[in-house]
Structure 1
Amino acid sequence: MQGQDSTYLKVSSCCKHFTAYDLENWNGVDRHHFDAVVGDQDMMDTFMPPFKSCVEVGKASSLMCSYNEVNHVPSCAHKDFLTNTARATWGFQGYVTGDCGAVDDILYTHKYTSTTDETCKVALEAGLDLDCGNFLQEHLPQAITNGAVTQQDVDTALTHLFAVQFRLGMFDPDSLQPYRKITAADVNTPDHQVLALQAALESFVLLKNDGTLPLDKTKTKTIALIGPNALATTTMQGNYYGNAPYLVSPQAGLNKYVTTVYAKGCDINSQDKSGFSAACSAASSADATILVVGLDQSQESEGNDRTEINLPGVQNDLISQTTQCSKGPIIVVVMTGGPVDLSIPKSSQKVNSILWVGYPGQSGGDAIAKTIFGEYSPAGRLPYTIYPADYVNQLSMFDMNMRPSSTTPGRTYRFYTGTAVYPFGHGLSYTTFNYTFSKEPIQIQASDIQQHLQGDVYSPWSSKGMVDVTIYVQNTGNTKSDVLVQLYVTPADPGKNGNPLKFLAGFSRVHDVLPKQTISVVFPLTAHDLSLVDAHGSRTVLPGTWELSTQDTTKHMLILQ
């Protein structure tokens, strides 16, 4: 995104929201008032690593501090985060901006300061350089006049801001800045349109399939297209989007292959079942039925938290009703950003296939149609755990702990002790794959790992590879397909003393693996992959028998001596 030029940035990219920003508006508390209480262990192995990678690997030129407090300090007044961690430890070279109105929150909602002068002083001394809002614009001049903010504080912020502007070439002639040659003609090119379609195709996750998919184009002439997202266009763009040159709905994509008979059935979040009759009428006469269900921005968007993770409204009832009247096979297409409980279509023997498509963008309808009719074999994997609906009753969003307790089941695949509807990393294909490791167990000296950790602390990106793990993958089916290979690590004593149950050490997508072809994927395991974060936030080595596994649970032994 920022370009490959050694001198100039193409754009200035910003990583947000720094950090532990996990609540929008839940149970009477919004993001402007929330204090995220996070322990050292969770901070160092969950909340900090994404931002550390933004700085160390992505070379981001901006960070945005969040609205919330973290451990009783507003993020935009958190010197330990903004200066001591980001700049001094990670080597961040860019500017820090507050989220829009976050500086106001330091004074008015968190009440961390008492005056506007003190707020300006605390924010700039913490490492803030820019305010996406009006607070500094309105109050900083007076704070300088009153002596609360020094000239050095202002100069430091301006230096960070102008340094990025210089890297963007804003003060150089056009002849020196290579990215000024980019014009409107370079936007929405045919290559870009192909890329948009390919991105959608590669993101799809086939959750369930009894062999119904892909549909046979020669035998499928009519499709009953049902559901509140069947005609989706804007919804496919998710949240925060530009003006797409076109939006291909699921119906428009499928109409290029077959005749569709559309019946909405119900709205996204409504108790109205009056459309069920038309849906059943369409399903009873079509060769196949496709239900496009899910969410939209009325359910998941900035400033809102969902309080339930069921499919909202009567969408589950629509699915169940359709199974009673459909003549042909039933495919459920799930269009969501966040997870929804899919227990009902998963358990129904009359639902033949489930395809999760996220918010697939401008070419979403074409990508859905190409996948359903077999022009592309899905190979995506779930980017999160799909929990049962009752999960929301088992923990509070005010509780930031990742690890399970006597009263909570834990968060994410690393710590969740319950039974997922579909686990993180799950995904099927139109073919089958066999995974194997080399035969001999891997043995590593714990003392060698500890040496590698010195000066690394908890970064997987600066760690040196200590051992290469090779996974051999054979396409045992009859269809050419991509394969996304995942390597998981299970430590000794999983689930004890805060240890994760397992964690993803690496993944790699290999394109166009032919039937009966065998490929190999090499994952270098680093000291980060072979160590754990303890209760004090430090990386430690745990000797014992560890385990490597793939997504199909093929296992291999790893011994830390």
Structure 2
Amino acid sequence: MKKLIVFIGICIAGTSMGQQYKSFPMWDYTLPVEQRVNDLVNRLTLEEKVGQMLNAAPAITRLGIPAYDWWNETLHGVARTPYHVTSYPQAIAMAATWDTASLYMMADYSATEGRAIHNRAIAEGKDNERYMGLTYWTPNINIFRDPRWGRGQETYGEDPYLTAKLGAAFVRGLQGNDPRYLKAAACAKHFAVHSGPESSRHSDNFNPSLHDLWDTYLPAFHELVVNAHVAGVMCAYNAVNGQPCCGNDLLMTSILRRQWKFTGYVTSDCWAIDDFFKYHKTHKDATAAAADALIHSTDIECGTSVYYSLINAVKTGLLSEAQLDTSLKRLFTIRFRLGMFDPVSQVKYAQTPASVLESPEHDDHALKMARESIVLLKNSDGVLPLSKKIRKIAVIGPNADNKIAVLGNYNGTPSRVVTLVEGIRQKLGPDATLIYEKAINYTNDTLLSYRDLTPMLSFKGSPGVQAEYFANEQLEGAPLQTLIEKDIDHYWTEGQTPAPNLKTIHYSARYTTFLKAAATETMNFEIDGDDGYRLFINDSLVIDAWTKNRWGARPFALPVQKDSSYKLVVEFYQNEGNASIRVKVGDRVKTDFAALAARLKDVDAIIFAGGISPQLEGEEMPVKVPGFEGGDRTTIMLPSVQTKLLKALQQTGKPVIFVMMTGSAIAIPEEQAKIPAIINAWYGGQRAGSAIADVLFGDYNPSGRLPVTFYASDNDLPPFTDYAMHNRTYRYFRGKPLYPFGYGLSYTHFTYSRLKMAESARKGTPVNVSVALTNTGEFDGDEVVQLYVSYPAEANAPVRSLKGFQRISLKRGESKEVSFTLTPEDLSLIDEKGNSYQPGGKAVISIGGGQPGKENAGAENVLSQTMMVR
């Protein structure tokens, strides 16, 4: 296989070794990259240059330059590829580990799998397709300032310091440590001041104060650009101070390029340049938008074709061709650093075999991170851990056996996903009885009781459905593939394809079958699809959701006569993103909570797996149900139907454990008051069920800590569209949270003692802090030691700010000294003009298992000392 890959790698350049361009300096791998890039760019025509500034850059065959699509994702494992990959916990869950070493390793493993996919794609001639490249538009380091934002699950939480440290670890792991080649290219997004709402993101304009900009929204970007040397930056959809981010004087020119001296590439968010003239109305047309984005050093347009207007911009004098060259040199520098123009024998990463995909060590690490991410929120009277001698257990709820929920969004597809039901079944073994019932949906108590359609379906005398797949969105021409399938019930994530040789986007399908009724009745059908679909019965159009009103399932009733046959034809098309088309038949049944409780009267314990799901929260989604709209949340309260069910389950008198899955903070004041044990399991990745079972039954001592504040109610939140940080996040919130940032319980107990630090310090000098940590409980476990700094006398300063953390493993009875060094930057604040300064006077240093304060876990062991700064 290696010889084949080497051969293909050589032949990327052209069809024969004797072609003239092989002698050009651009192809001489012994020369400096800068010289090679300059040679390449100088050989391009204007039209060729512009083509290379689109995310799907075409091939330039006369120079041997292969086509390349810059668009790829690896938020928590390689995403949207057609191959099976390892799926780690969602980003917010990885943030809950507070483990930079684990995050570094996860990124390193993801880059390894990404290299294997890219190499395989080269061998299969698919390396120019989306989601096959090595430029990953990850990580998302926006600040999760408001729990209603559906994409907050993609971030590392609400704190700039934690986000910066985790993001930097990810970048270093993904990009590798080779002095010459990048293992993969990371991209910090979305620059900047971007965190919802999703419904208005294309037209929003925010005017943050200079204090908030430099104190909250920019520190993580600074860390990744200046210190971690991230390869790319993605500019955001929204405008800041009246200018779209991708054409923003302050963000792009003054800060990113001049102050931070960023030399990497910038891509627009997808279709963000269109927004200049379509939604922001700041530019008159595509040419003006494209020119301004380029002037502000946006090197790639991800989207449709606005950057084609750069040809006209140069010809009409809006731009010089030399300005294009600056961007092109940045872009090709990245491709050269990825080894794309060098022999495979020279690039160790290009030799990564396909066997690394889903390797055992990657699966083990997915389990490790899932375990570390789980936060124990409540454990009254030692309900947890449960005994493994339990003989009968009930696992109830919409997340109990939901594989979509544990995978989060921007995910890849592993070959095996362990749900909570599976994890508990494996833990207890065949001798225990496990009762599983979904019981409710996330927001209502009416379930569809489905019937199996397959015995009634046939096509030309054979069981099933004829499926015709077309390589376009319009069902045009001859189908690329014609298959016989058992039913019409499909869901494909981005990067998956429904048929051999069909691309992963921009396709359509027609399904034809004949239904033979088993009885005379009215059959209640439901059809749902994405992106557009329509249904014909006996050649008459019954439902048309092809272009309008496409979102949501459509019910329809079909009166049928026994043994009569009915022709069903379903057509659908896929544009971008996930794809699905489903036709089901059944009856809606309202759950009887009292009857359910009665069925569970003799179990030993009840696990309720609830919360929410990436099916409800995420990027610009077509969802509109109580509590959720457009991908965002309209309330942070747990859906009331879940509270109602939990009350019914408590009436059994059996121990009830609430396993909450979510990508954002959920307000659960009633549950906190009444449910004896609560864990937050986030979206835990492919081994989520195993990890949760390990925690529930004591094979792993929970050690996750919250990377966001869990507020008590919606009343604690300022308006969603208000980007001022006043009363937001633990740094500025003056109320009482339900669970504070940094919170998390353990099955053991940690004691802090012997805080050592100077009583005074001079400005501009580092400060050393140490503390003794002892595991005084009965279990081995991990503690996350957290260090906070506050300046009580400084107006408008944060209540406190995280400035150090370490995850420490201790056997029971074991002690360790934990040390930190606070830099002058750590001890500084931001003034109203956005400038950094170090205050004089009293600074309070707190170190322990959470924030100081009686409401915090382990707060009796948080030690604080005042230091005078002169």
Question: TM-score, normalised on structure 2?
Answer: 0.59
Tell me the amino acid that sits aligned with residue 15 of structure 1: A
Q: Which whole-Å CA distance do the structure 2 matches of 1:155 and 1:440 have between them?
A: 54
* Range with greater deviation from structure 2 (290-299 or 135-144): 135-144
- Corresponding residue for 1:260? 434
Contact 1:263 1:278 in 2 (8 A): no
Tell me the amino acid that sits aligned with residue 480 of structure 1: D
Contact 1:263 1:275 in 2 (8 A): no
1:44-78 CA-partner distances (Å, limit 9, x unpaired): 01000111112123321110001000111100101
Q: CA RMSD in A?
A: 1.6
Q: Which whole-Å CA distance do the structure 1 matches of 2:611 and 2:592 have between them?
A: 17
Tell me the amino acid that sits aligned with residue 20 of structure 1: V
Contact 2:804 2:820 in 1 (8 A): yes
Tell me by how many angstroms 1:419 deviates: 1.0
Q: Which whole-Å CA distance do the structure 1 matches of 2:216 and 2:689 have between them?
A: 35
1:295-328 CA-partner distances (Å, limit 9, x unpaired): 1123211012211001125111111221122x42
1:471-512 CA-partner distances (Å, limit 9, x unpaired): 21110101111111111112132xx5211001111111112x
- Corresponding residue for 1:64? 234
Q: Which whole-Å CA distance do the structure 2 matches of 1:43 and 1:371 have between them?
A: 39
Q: Secondary structure at the match of 2:345?
A: coil
Answer yes or no: is 1:170 the counterpart of 2:340: yes
Q: Which whole-Å CA distance do the structure 1 matches of 2:224 and 2:594 have between them?
A: 51
- Corresponding residue for 1:314? 641
* Range with greater deviation from structure 2 (121-130 or 71-80): 71-80
- Corresponding residue for 1:531? 828
Tell me the amino acid that sits aligned with residue 509 of structure 1: R
Contact 2:594 2:648 in 1 (8 A): no
Tell me the amino acid that sits aligned with residue 261 of structure 1: I
Answer yes or no: is 1:498 the counterpart of 2:796: yes
Tell me by how many angstroms 1:436 deviates: 2.2
Tell me the amino acid that sits aligned with residue 309 of structure 2: H
- Corresponding residue for 2:781? 481
Answer yes or no: is 1:434 the counterpart of 2:751: yes
| Stretches of structure 2 lacking an aligned partner (at least 5 in a row) | 1-173, 447-589, 621-630, 851-858
Determine which structure has more spread, i.e. the larger CA radius of gyration.
Answer: 2
Tell me the amino acid that sits aligned with residue 241 of structure 1: N
1:6-405 superposed matches below 5 A: 6-25=179-198, 30-210=200-380, 211-218=382-389, 220-258=390-428, 259-270=433-444, 272=446, 274-303=591-620, 304-325=631-652, 327-348=653-674, 351-391=675-715, 394-403=717-726
Contact 2:760 2:868 in 1 (8 A): yes
Question: Paired residue for 1:546, among 812, 831, 843?
Answer: 843
Tell me the amino acid that sits aligned with residue 527 of structure 1: P
Tell me by how many angstroms 1:278 deviates: 4.8
Q: Which whole-Å CA distance do the structure 1 matches of 2:779 and 2:709 have between them?
A: 28
Q: Which whole-Å CA distance do the structure 2 matches of 1:357 and 1:105 have between them?
A: 37
Q: Which whole-Å CA distance do the structure 1 matches of 2:755 and 2:591 have between them?
A: 59
1:278–1:194: structure 2 CA closer, same or farther, 3 Å change rule?
farther
Tell me the amino acid that sits aligned with residue 57 of structure 1: N
Q: Secondary structure at the match of 1:469?
A: strand
Contact 1:261 1:282 in 2 (8 A): no
1:375-394 CA-partner distances (Å, limit 9, x unpaired): 110111001000122236x4
Contact 2:182 2:337 in 1 (8 A): yes
1:150–1:291: structure 2 CA closer, same or farther, 3 Å change rule?
same
Q: Which whole-Å CA distance do the structure 2 matches of 1:329 and 1:340 have between them?
A: 22
Q: Secondary structure at the match of 2:311?
A: helix
Tell me the amino acid that sits aligned with residue 236 of structure 1: V
Q: Which whole-Å CA distance do the structure 1 matches of 2:217 and 2:599 have between them?
A: 48
Q: Which whole-Å CA distance do the structure 1 matches of 2:840 and 2:801 have between them?
A: 17
Tell me by how many angstroms 1:188 deviates: 0.9
Number of positions where the alignment pairs a residue of Structure 1 with one of Structure 2: 527
Q: Which whole-Å CA distance do the structure 2 matches of 1:472 and 1:275 have between them?
A: 54
Tell me the amino acid that sits aligned with residue 420 of structure 1: P
1:124-160 CA-partner distances (Å, limit 9, x unpaired): 0111000001233432222222222210211011011
Tell me by how many angstroms 1:39 deviates: 0.6
Q: Which whole-Å CA distance do the structure 1 matches of 2:866 and 2:189 have between them?
A: 38
- Corresponding residue for 2:91? none
Tell me by how many angstroms 1:204 deviates: 0.7
Q: Secondary structure at the match of 1:314?
A: helix
* Range with greater deviation from structure 2 (251-260 or 163-172): 251-260
| Stretches of structure 1 lacking an aligned partner (at least 5 in a row) | 404-409, 450-465
Q: Which whole-Å CA distance do the structure 1 matches of 2:182 and 2:592 have between them?
A: 53
* Range with greater deviation from structure 2 (367-376 or 314-323): 314-323
1:232–1:442: structure 2 CA closer, same or farther, 3 Å change rule?
farther
- Corresponding residue for 1:420? 737
Tell me by how many angstroms 1:83 deviates: 3.0
Q: Which whole-Å CA distance do the structure 2 matches of 1:416 and 1:283 have between them?
A: 42
Tell me by how many angstroms 1:399 deviates: 1.1
Tell me by how many angstroms 1:558 deviates: 1.9
Tell me by how many angstroms 1:425 deviates: 0.4
1:516–1:416: structure 2 CA closer, same or farther, 3 Å change rule?
same
Q: Which whole-Å CA distance do the structure 2 matches of 1:391 and 1:285 have between them?
A: 40
Contact 1:310 1:340 in 2 (8 A): yes
1:184–1:537: structure 2 CA closer, same or farther, 3 Å change rule?
same
Tell me the amino acid that sits aligned with residue 262 of structure 1: Y
Tell me by how many angstroms 1:87 deviates: 2.4
Q: Secondary structure at the match of 2:175?
A: coil
Tell me the amino acid that sits aligned with residue 772 of structure 2: Y
Tell me the amino acid that sits aligned with residue 845 of structure 2: L
Q: Which whole-Å CA distance do the structure 2 matches of 1:335 and 1:72 have between them?
A: 38
Q: Secondary structure at the match of 2:651?
A: helix
Q: Which whole-Å CA distance do the structure 2 matches of 1:441 and 1:468 have between them?
A: 8
* Range with greater deviation from structure 2 (303-312 or 245-254): 303-312
| % identical equivalent positions | 36
Tell me the amino acid that sits aligned with residue 384 of structure 2: L
Q: Secondary structure at the match of 1:195?
A: helix
Tell me the amino acid that sits aligned with residue 502 of structure 1: R
Q: Secondary structure at the match of 1:438?
A: strand
- Corresponding residue for 1:459? none
Contact 2:439 2:445 in 1 (8 A): no
Q: Secondary structure at the match of 2:647?
A: helix
Q: Which whole-Å CA distance do the structure 2 matches of 1:179 and 1:168 have between them?
A: 9
Q: Which whole-Å CA distance do the structure 1 matches of 2:227 and 2:407 have between them?
A: 27
Q: Which whole-Å CA distance do the structure 1 matches of 2:599 and 2:673 have between them?
A: 23
Contact 1:226 1:279 in 2 (8 A): no
- Corresponding residue for 2:135? none
Q: Secondary structure at the match of 1:253?
A: helix
1:328–1:253: structure 2 CA closer, same or farther, 3 Å change rule?
same
Tell me the amino acid that sits aligned with residue 318 of structure 1: L
1:8–1:279: structure 2 CA closer, same or farther, 3 Å change rule?
farther
Q: Which whole-Å CA distance do the structure 1 matches of 2:427 and 2:747 have between them?
A: 19
